[in-house]
């Protein structure tokens, strides 16, 4: 039987510059499994997604990082894109929001450049993780063990490298989010 996320509330934390497929495909996967999703971002209105370096669609923000409470959610997803996590990691409210999921032992999914925000939140030390290859040094310097694998799970943290990994990433986050706390 497929994992179900019925009754679960999942936060997606993203800002302008998010890689569109790294937002839309995981969101579709958790919604198809029954979850309710909210887009959390730095400011009200909408965020601008990208398809690599080309602007793509805009997506409406449900709640800002200043107002968001990690306690209201069962899990968190951090999509990539180069600019998106760079904006997030400079926002103290976004960093606090991310750290709160780890403090509570809630599952988190992160892909591509998304781990930059995890580094800023100080939550990767001692963890096994993957990402876009250019983040390897940042993650290693922050105390993580970086590996080049399609999908890596470490005590509720699911990570993947790139859009090509999305099928495995989406399947694994649904499975981990169904299991709940770690």
Q: Please, are residues 99 and 149 in contact by the beta-carbon 8 Å criterion? A: no
User: According to the model, what pLDDT value does residue 1 have?
Assistant: 47
User: According to the model, what pLDDT value does residue 180 have?
Assistant: 76
Q: Is the pTM of this model over 0.95?
A: yes
Q: Give the whole-angstrom CA distance, residue 48 versus residue 15.
A: 7
Read off φ and ψ for residue 44, nearest 5 degrees: -70, 165
For the question of residue 113 being annotated catalytic, the response is yes
User: According to the model, what pLDDT value does residue 147 have?
Assistant: 98
Read off φ and ψ for residue 124, nearest 5 degrees: -100, -10
User: According to the model, what pLDDT value does residue 159 have?
Assistant: 98
pLDDT in tens, the chain (182 residues): 467 999 999 999 999 999 999 999 999 999 999 999 999 999 999 999 999 999 999 999 999 999 999 999 999 999 999 999 999 999 999 999 999 999 999 999 999 999 999 999 999 999 999 999 999 999 999 999 999 999 999 999 999 999 999 999 999 999 999 987 66
User: According to the model, what pLDDT value does residue 3 have?
Assistant: 75
Instruction: Please identify which of the residues 8, 89, 113, 161 carries the catalytic annotation.
Output: 113
């Amino acid at each position: 039987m497929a994992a179900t996320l019925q009754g679960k509330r999942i936060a997606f934390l993203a800002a302008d510059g998010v890689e569109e497929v790294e937002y839309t495909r995981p969101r579709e996967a958790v919604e198809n499994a029954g979850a309710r999703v909210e887009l959390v971002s730095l400011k009200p209105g909408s965020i601008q997604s990208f398809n690599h370096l080309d602007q793509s669609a805009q997506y409406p923000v449900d709640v800002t990082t200043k107002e968001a409470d990690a306690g209201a959610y069962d899990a968190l997803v951090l999509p990539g894109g180069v600019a998106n996590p760079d904006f997030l990691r400079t926002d103290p409210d976004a960093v606090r929001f991310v750290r709160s999921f780890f403090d509570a032992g809630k599952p988190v999914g992160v892909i591509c450049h998304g781990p930059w925000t995890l580094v800023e939140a100080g939550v990767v030390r001692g963890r096994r993780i993957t990402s876009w290859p250019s983040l390897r040094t940042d993650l290693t310097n922050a105390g993580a063990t970086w590996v080049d694998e399609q999908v890596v799970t470490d005590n509720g943290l699911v990570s993947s490298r790139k859009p090509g990994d999305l099928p495995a990433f989406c399947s694994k986050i649904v499975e981990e989010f169904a299991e709940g706390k770690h």
